Amino acid sequence: MNSSEKRNVFVEIGEPPEAWVRRYGKKVEINSKNHGLKFYGLDWTVKNPGQLIVRNRLSEFQLEAVLGAMGTFDDEYPGEGFSKIVITTNISQSETIAHDEARQKIFALLQKIRSAGWTRWIYPSDPRLSGEDAFRYQIAEDDTFYSLDSNYLPPLDVWMKLSDRSQWKFFLNDVAMSVRFSRDQDRMKPNLPGAYIVWIELISKNEMERSEFQGEERKKWKALYPGARKRQLSIRIEQEKKLQMQGYKIDVEYKNPDQ
């Protein structure tokens, strides 16, 4: 893309893929080899990254140093448009970055997302932990699926203990978002530069709920999901009881924003 095109790119869950094609033309790479699914991609280079705006109705925030965006379209639900979009981005223009600077930059990104109206989402069967407790639990369990608390900026020594692909999850207007980071495991000395990459995955509420089921059950997801959610919440209660006995404080004020 030329300089002007790179600075006027936006993506939004629910958009029809034709909208990307109209806006970005031949820059969109289309992969329709998978039965029932089509993938629409936009790519930039490390030396010449893009800027991209993530939209969700009236909410939006901008990403810098974007390397790619991939939208998924499910032929079985054509009226839903893109049900998933995955964005790959660097956190700096250079290949390496100090670990403490990376910590600050990722935290700044999380604050930008929260300022755009997104709120924390914890998987319904996971315990409701906030702040330092959320990080302590994630590290102890090595559970990279757990949603960390974006309100809490961990000290550098805790930051360095986080597993690859640790993530924060958010929800807004029937769209879920996960923000994950990965870093070069050969560059993990705190006092030397590291190398980071960030993935932002957007997924529609419908697709998120459908993903709980496989095969024929997936086709009946609307009828089946309430029961699955009830079972998930029962698991959460049992987990929280055990964690309280271990000294964790349960965030009883937290309510999942998708319910």
pLDDT at 93 (0 to 100)? 82
- Give domain status of residue 181, yes or no: yes
- Give domain status of residue 251, yes or no: no
- Give domain status of residue 250, yes or no: no
Nearest to 170 by CA among 215, 118, 207: 118
- Give domain status of residue 92, yes or no: yes
Domain count, the chain: 1
CA dist 163 and 160 (Å) reads: 8
Q: Is the pLDDT of residue 5 over 60?
A: no
Instruction: Give the global pTM.
Output: 0.95
Distances (CA, A) of 246 to 236, 243, 250: 15, 5, 11
In this prediction, residues 97-108 reach a mean pLDDT of 97
Is the separation of the CB atoms in 1 and 24 below 8 Å?
yes
Q: Using one digit for the tens of pLDDT, what is the confidence trace for 185-242?
A: 999 999 999 999 999 999 999 999 999 999 999 999 999 999 999 999 999 999 999 9
In this prediction, residues 29-56 reach a mean pLDDT of 94
CA dist 255 and 104 (Å) reads: 28
Q: What is the dihedral of CA 89, 92, 93, 95, to 10 degrees?
A: -90
pLDDT at 7 (0 to 100)? 58
pLDDT at 92 (0 to 100)? 85
- Give domain status of residue 252, yes or no: no
Burial pattern 38-69, b for ≥16 Cβ within 10 A else e, equals bbbebebeeeebbbbebbbeebebebebbbbb
- Give domain status of residue 129, yes or no: yes
- Give domain status of residue 257, yes or no: no
In this prediction, residues 121-140 reach a mean pLDDT of 98
- Give domain status of residue 230, yes or no: yes
In this prediction, residues 17-29 reach a mean pLDDT of 96
Domain range for 10:
3-245
Is the separation of the CB atoms in 59 and 118 below 8 Å?
yes
